[in-house]
Amino acid sequence: MSVREIITNPYADQKPGTAGLRKKVAVFQQPHYLENFLQAIFDADPRLHGGTLVIGGDGRYHNRTAIRTAIAMAAANGVRRVVVGQGGLLSTPAASHLIRSLGAAGGFVLTASHNPAGEDGDFGIKYNVSGGGQAPESLTDRIHGISLGLTRYRTVDGVQVDLDRRGSQNVGELQVEVIDSVDDYAHLMQSLFDFDLIRDWFKDGHRLCFDAMHAVTGPYAQRLFVDLLGAPATSLLNAIPLEDFGGGHPDPNLIHARPLVERMHGADAPDLGGASDGDGDRNMILGPGLFISPGDSLAMLCEHLHLLPGYRRGLAGVARSMPTCRALDQVARALDIPCHETPTGWKFFANLLDAGRVTLCGEESFGTSSDHTREKDGVWAVLAWLNILAATRRSVQDIAQAHWARFGRHYYARHDYEDLPVATAQALVQALQDRLPDLVGQRHGELQVSQADSFAYQDPVDGSRATNQGLRVVFADAARIIVRLSGTGTQGATLRLYLERYETGDLGLETGAALAPLAALADRIVHISQITGRSSPSVIT
Ligand code: VG1
Ligand code: CO
């Protein structure tokens, strides 16, 4: 088996965004496109040479082709061992866990997360480093820099790997191990949660409905909820992974997880509803007739996590991304533990988790996880809720109402304006940024601007700085308006407007109604309709 160096031209557009490199499938199908990016990774991270590399993806269209390319290039670049999920499947949190538990040098996670899949859909790749976390910005900058100058990549020809057959195969010197996609992850979950207690809860007639959205969590949900915990198979919706996710948009929110939402709002709704996204790192939590916003779910988990076996020692600290609502801060204050505020994107939690400074972290974008892995983890969040319901013998409604009565309630929504002309979106952000100093002190009805700035973050562990991480207009504890541009889209620019209103009195309002005055105020301050010509957002979550 001989190594070939293929002469090629670099691609200029391989700058990783919030979560890796994400593009249309057609972009990834260009000759040498994926190869160029992978070679930049092999060149940027010398630990891969002679090391173990984990590979797996969310099963979307192009997954298997990309994995074959990656294995051939791993063989040519001196990787010693590749561990790949059967059928090419690994959820993002399971891949992160494998990298950690195998002491691997790194991992390729092939996913465009919740973005639609199929020939006309999106594809993506994230590079996770040893320890399991997403490559930090210093490394993604280096990878991008190298990718811009590459003129050759290394590969071997004629690689035959059967991704469906478990066991060891050789590609030249490289050992390729195809493993069960779920086993290690299922063991990890059993070490964190009280499976006997949850099993009893199901035996007593309590019910779950989990929507895998035809994406990667199907096999994980089958093993954990049905095989190990004894929930009936009818508890699962859309549990067969499909290359195009069944034509759907595997984003677990009130809009895209419609069948689940309808079931949870119907008569005879199950006790808990959950859903996860394309690559298994997001989660949505519902009670009968009740949606628990991700920020609330994070705060409620923080309040109860010490009841669960893996967290009996309590929480060292917690963290949330800046746009995530400040419900978590209230609980952290009551528990007297540190609460960190980081930029958007899971990679910013990694150092805090590695240093043992935080146990639980989350984002408003339906992401929650703990220090058990270095990615957000959808199935983990559903198991944590199940375990809390089983341990407290309370309903989701009880838990939510008691939580709001004690800590107050953060009404919260994100308004996305998708596919805007890039120049328009950038001009809007720039114009707001220029006006920020004038906003401080302004009064708008009962609200007064206490702070208006562009969020910057200094990592308390390694001192690295990230600037321009979103514009925020803060009205003390009462409310916040946040604006930032998405770093995961593949078409035009997506503007995200985040609205948060804190209430200690009116706890039972409908979210849209509760936020309507703040949304109107945001438009007056940010000038969205005026600048974009859009009278309403594309999606509200
Ligand atoms: C979005 C979310 C962010 C999340 C990221 C990746 O990024 O806002 O919170 O970490 O997606 O999630 P952006 O830059 O588009 O706002 V996933 O499930 O795609 O790995
Ligand atoms: Co995802």
Domain boundary (372, 407, 442) is at: 407
- The whole-number average pLDDT for the span 390-404 is 98
Same domain as 95, residue 53: yes
What confidence tens digit (pLDDT) does each residue in 237-260 have? Answer: 999 999 999 999 999 999 999 999
Q: Which tokens is 16 given? A: 């990783």
Which atom of ligand 1 lies at the shortest distance from residue 364's CA?
9
- The whole-number average pLDDT for the span 304-330 is 98
Quick check: 409 pLDDT over 90?
yes
Any atom of ligand 1 within 6 Å of the Cβ of 342: no
Same domain as 525, residue 390: no
- The whole-number average pLDDT for the span 447-458 is 98
Instruction: Give CA–CA dist 97/365, Å, rounded.
Output: 21
Same domain as 445, residue 421: yes
What confidence tens digit (pLDDT) does each residue in 150-164 have? Answer: 999 999 998 899 999
Buried b (16+ CB within 10 A) or exposed e, 525-537: bbebeebbeeeeb
What confidence tens digit (pLDDT) does each residue in 461-513 have? Answer: 999 999 999 999 999 999 999 999 999 888 899 999 999 999 999 999 999 99
Instruction: Give CA–CA dist 125/510, Å, rounded.
Output: 38
**Neighbouring residues of 505: CB distance < 8 A, sequence distance ≥ 6:** none
- The whole-number average pLDDT for the span 408-435 is 97
Same domain as 424, residue 384: no
What pLDDT is attached to residue 147? 96
- The whole-number average pLDDT for the span 117-137 is 95
Q: State the CATH number of the domain containing residue 478.
A: 3.30.310.50
Please report, for residues 16, 21, 40, 198, the alpha-carbon distance to residue 139 in angstroms, rounded to integers and kept in the order given: 10, 13, 11, 41
Same domain as 353, residue 208: yes
Instruction: Give CA–CA dist 368/362, Å, rounded.
Output: 4
- The whole-number average pLDDT for the span 380-386 is 98
Any atom of ligand 1 within 6 Å of the Cβ of 486: yes
For residue 487, the ligand closest to its alpha carbon is 1
Contact 441, 541 (CB under 8 A): no
Q: Is 113 a catalytic residue?
A: yes
- Other beta carbons within 10 angstroms of residue 465's beta carbon come to 9
Q: Predicted confidence band at 276 (pLDDT cuts at 50, 70, 90)?
A: very high
Same domain as 423, residue 413: yes
Q: Which of 91, 113, 276, 293 is catalytic?
A: 113
Domain boundary (159, 181, 203) is at: 181
339-342 vs 318-321, strand pairing mode: parallel
Q: Which residues surround ligand 2, an ion (CB under 5 A)?
A: 113, 277, 279, 281-282
What pLDDT is attached to residue 490? 83
What pLDDT is attached to residue 391? 98
Same domain as 533, residue 489: yes
Residue from 123, 125, 251, 344 to probe ligand 1 pocket by mutation (most atoms less than 8 Å from CB)? 344
Mean pLDDT of all residues belonging to the chain: 97
What pLDDT is attached to residue 401? 97
Quick check: 317 pLDDT over 80?
yes
Closest CA to 272 of 91, 400, 414: 400
User: In sequence order, what E strands does 315-366 have?
Assistant: 318-321, 339-342, 360-363
Any atom of ligand 1 within 6 Å of the Cβ of 18: yes
Kindly report the three-state secondary structure assignment for every residue of 158-177: CCCCCCCCCEEEEECCEEEE
Which atom of ligand 1 lies at the shortest distance from residue 375's CA?
20
Using only C-alpha atoms, the chain has a radius of gyration, in whole angstroms, of 23
Any atom of ligand 1 within 6 Å of the Cβ of 303: no
Domain boundary (166, 181, 196) is at: 181
What confidence tens digit (pLDDT) does each residue in 182-203 have? Answer: 999 999 999 999 999 999 999 9
What confidence tens digit (pLDDT) does each residue in 32-90 have? Answer: 999 999 999 999 999 999 999 999 999 999 999 999 999 999 999 999 999 999 999 99
What pLDDT is attached to residue 18? 87
Any atom of ligand 1 within 6 Å of the Cβ of 368: no
10 Å CB burial of residue 255 (0-12, 13-18, 19+) is exposed
Quick check: 376 pLDDT over 90?
yes
- The whole-number average pLDDT for the span 409-438 is 97
Which atom of ligand 1 lies at the shortest distance from residue 345's CA?
10
Any atom of ligand 1 within 6 Å of the Cβ of 541: no
Q: Which tokens is 472 given? A: 């925020």
Beta bridge partner(s), residue 4: 155
- The whole-number average pLDDT for the span 522-540 is 96
Quick check: 1 pLDDT over 90?
no
Q: Which tokens is 413 given? A: 């929504």
Same domain as 46, residue 164: yes
Quick check: 2 pLDDT over 90?
no
Any atom of ligand 1 within 6 Å of the Cβ of 488: yes
Same domain as 492, residue 370: no
Any atom of ligand 1 within 6 Å of the Cβ of 487: yes
Instruction: Give CA–CA dist 506/391, Å, rounded.
Output: 29
Percent of the chain with pLDDT over 90: 97
What pLDDT is attached to residue 466? 95
Residue from 365, 373, 420, 486 to probe ligand 1 pocket by mutation (most atoms less than 8 Å from CB)? 365
Q: How far is CA 520 from its chain centroid?
A: 29
Q: Quote the number of domains for the chain.
A: 3
- Other beta carbons within 10 angstroms of residue 391's beta carbon come to 17
Percent of the chain with pLDDT over 70: 100
pTM: 0.97
Residue nearest to atom 10 of ligand 1 (CA): 345
- The whole-number average pLDDT for the span 112-122 is 94
Same domain as 223, residue 168: no
Instruction: Give CA–CA dist 405/368, Å, rounded.
Output: 23
- The whole-number average pLDDT for the span 119-125 is 96
Contact 504, 408 (CB under 8 A): yes
Any atom of ligand 1 within 6 Å of the Cβ of 344: yes
Residue nearest to atom 17 of ligand 1 (CA): 113
Same domain as 506, residue 363: no
Instruction: Give CA–CA dist 14/40, Å, rounded.
Output: 10
Q: State the CATH number of the domain containing residue 124.
A: 3.40.120.10
Residue nearest to atom 18 of ligand 1 (CA): 113
Residue nearest to atom 13 of ligand 1 (CA): 486
Which atom of ligand 1 lies at the shortest distance from residue 277's CA?
18
SS3 at position 18: coil
Same domain as 215, residue 100: no
Give the range of the structural domain holding residue 467, as residue numbers without chain letter: 409-540
